[in-house]
A and B are shown apart, each in its own frame.
Chain A
Amino acid sequence: MLKRKRFLFAVMAIIPTFAIFGWVRMYPIVETLRLSVFQWNLLSRDKTFVGLSNFIELFGDDQFLDALTNTAIIAFGAMAVTIPVSMALAGVIYHRTRSRFAGFYETAVFIPHVVSLVPAAMAWKWIFDAKLGPLNAVIVALGGEAQAWLFDPVLSVVCIILLVSWQTLGYAVLIYLVGFRNLPKSVYEAAKLDGANGIQSFFFMSVPLLKPITLYVSVVTLISGFNVYAQAYVLASDTQGAPGRLVRVLVLDMLENSFQNFRVGYAAAEAVILLSIVLVLTAVQFGMLRQKGGK
């Protein structure tokens, strides 16, 4: 009887949490899945069932394919930049833990993660400015040629990768620092006795031992990379000065289709594809994580 009461109490206690989670998290996902097979203009009460035609149209839509390609390049590019740089930075900061500047190093690296995205992107827009930006000034001073960072089709994507990486770096460094602090000291001491230097210890011990952390950081970076939006939007927007080249990314394309083109079903189909990509990649990464854990 008591057991049953306890069970009922536990169920009653957890129901509000489940209800909120269901309403805030699950319902929008289910609704998006449902809308993806309808044609709906947001304003009308009528929703026409169109089956998979939104998905079929998407794969013949140059703008969507362009957005998908750009988003994938940005997500994987940001991951490729973030992981080695954050691991190296965390290694250096960990090595300098006893320094009185250790706190400053950690804070300095983490600040970009907490800075509001739009002002940060505006600052980067100035840095990348072809005519007035300090980046080109430095390149020219070093004898190089000024680049149209925000206008060239390739360089404009590189700019977004740099901006996304700059923002995610702080969080990744913190996670890696936790990883470094939990590595067994005895292994390093044994390696030192065997004559390994710092760089050898880093590449042959720290990197393999930090694989679970690396997998976690890669999941987080990849997901945030696939959700890139504000960076592309801000770097391209400036109606009265020098608007940059618009790098079309998935979230931007979805917003445009939803609230400017009024094709909510079509945008929902894009969202379903984005969700599927993120889920598959996350499953692959966690699968690899489990494999490593099993070994």
Chain B
Amino acid sequence: MTFRGRNGTVAKATMWSAGLMLAGTLSAQAQDVVIWGGFPELADFYERVAEGMSDEYPDLNVIVEPIGLRDHEKRVALGLSSGLDDATVLELIGSTANRYIVNDLLPPAPDDIAEFVNDAGNFEPFFRDTATVDGTVYGVPLFRGQGALFYNTDMLAEAGLDGPPTTMEEYDDYAAKLTQRDADGNPTVSGWSLRLSGGGGGIAEKFWINMHQFGGALLEPVGDKYRAAYANEAGLAALRQYVNAVSGDKTVTIDMPADAAAFQRGQTAMFIRESWVIGDTEKKAPELNYDTALLPRGSIALPVNLYVSGGSDAAQDAAWAFAIEANKPEHLIWLLDNVGWLPNRAGVDYSGVIEAKPQFSAFVDLPEDYDLFTLPSIEPINEILTRFAAVLTEAFADPSLAGDDAAMMALLESAEEETNAILDRAGILAE
């Protein structure tokens, strides 16, 4: 009995081992592809893209892991510098990806992918170039962040305003007329919501957008180098507008609810943001009456591309196939319609979505002279924006600056010195 039992145990163990080996073989055939994104609202889009690949890749297991952008950037920095086990599709802004590419941490795209990206029928040169370094394609363009003015049409009508503001002077006038106040004169609904607090470089990025309307830029390229360019009339005009809004006209306060959430709750009448607000508002405030408008001079355009790193050759092929699948017209139309980010692929008919949601027109129907700019692909761009943001945060909260152009210019000059010191340390300061 015992002997037979032992024999039985051996037989069972053999069967278990065989089963485990079989399972191991099967799991080895299955391919894992991880999607790392910095925009959580895109999770459903990526799930949809993965479903679209199921016929061609029945064993493909796509794991979608989106987190907030700042944490995503840290995760990518750690992941790429220490190596990724699984084939991973990385969603990165072109300027951010550049630093990994120059350090050989992102591989070039295979020939067929490069051919897809280089096809002028698929992408305009602006988007192709953000995925390309020294003529080599490293990523596949997907979508872009581009700003426009969002305004509450009911509030404008109540204030007797016909149509959106078209100059920066009008922005101030509109903000004053749209601000709602309590009996003590304190604003309860801001006329124009500005980014005034918080961490990261977003404050400086938003300041750059406003400064762009005055004809300026935070950084000025000179050949392949840069220098700070905001201690000038354009920078002063932008800073003056912020300070006046907070401490002069008091059309907004630092502690007021801000941004998309405030707009959707009727706590602000106007603000500048990217197109994702349209999809977000459809979900969170479907009854809100609002429209969008072009900015006076132009907008930032931050193209986001998909890159691939880690994993076996076969898994990497599947990951690149995912990037191509994501660019199929049916997925891109779904992306625009349901999430609101602007797809970069040309030759896709988005008219159905734009007709149904005319707010998109301020993002896609751009005049010839509409001036788009993007963040330069330089290593210290985050540090420059973050440090300038810290200076701006203090300035916005300082009422003594109101009406004092000399003090504001001195502040800008001091910040400019710091920016130039960072550029100098990186070896890219222009004379």
Contact = CB atoms under 8 A, between A and B. Distances in A.
Do they bind each other?
yes
B372 interface: no
Contacts of A256: 386
Contacts of B81: 42-43
Counting chain B CB atoms within 10 Å of each CB, which of A43, A63, A236, A255 scores highest?
A: A43
A130 B259 CA distance: 16
Interface string B306-328: 00000000000000000000000
A150 B80 contact: no
Contacts of B259: 239-241
Interface residues of B, number: 37
A76 interface: no
A-B interface, 8 closest residue pairs, ranked by CB to CB distance from nearest: A243-B198, A43-B103, A261-B383, A148-B255, A259-B74, A241-B261, A246-B199, A130-B255
B52 interface: no
Contact of B77 (A42, A153, A237, A246): A42
B379 interface: yes
B99 interface: yes
A34 B100 CA distance: 24
B70 A43 contact: no
B105 interface: yes
A263 B383 contact: yes
B426 to A, nearest CB: 9
Given A43-B99, A43-B103, A261-B386, A242 B77 contact: no
Contact of A241 (B100, B105, B254, B258): B258
Interface string A250-288: 001001101111110000000000000000000000000
Interface residues of A, number: 33
B382 A261 contact: yes
Contacts of A260: 70, 73-74, 77, 200, 382-383, 386
Nearest to B382: A260
Interface of B is mostly: helix
B380 interface: yes
A252 B74 CA distance: 12
A291 interface: no
B77 A262 contact: yes
A255 B74 contact: yes
Given A63-B390, A261-B383, A262-B379, A246 B74 contact: no
A125 interface: no
Contacts of B382: 260-261
Interface of B: 68-70, 73-74, 77-78, 80-81, 99-100, 103, 105, 197-200, 202, 253-262, 379-380, 382-383, 386-387, 390, 393, 397
Contacts, number: 95
A66 to B, nearest CB: 8
A238 interface: yes
Contacts of B393: 245-246
A288 to B, nearest CB: 37
A244 interface: yes
Nearest to B77: A259
A131 interface: yes
Nearest to B257: A242
A146 B105 CA distance: 51
A243 B199 contact: yes
A116 interface: no
Given A42-B77, A258-B77, 10 more contacts: A41-B103, A43-B81, A131-B257, A151-B255, A240-B259, A240-B260, A245-B397, A252-B199, A259-B77, A261-B380
Nearest to B202: A239
Contacts of B199: 233, 236-237, 243, 246, 252
A131 B74 contact: no
A44 interface: yes
B379 to A, nearest CB: 7
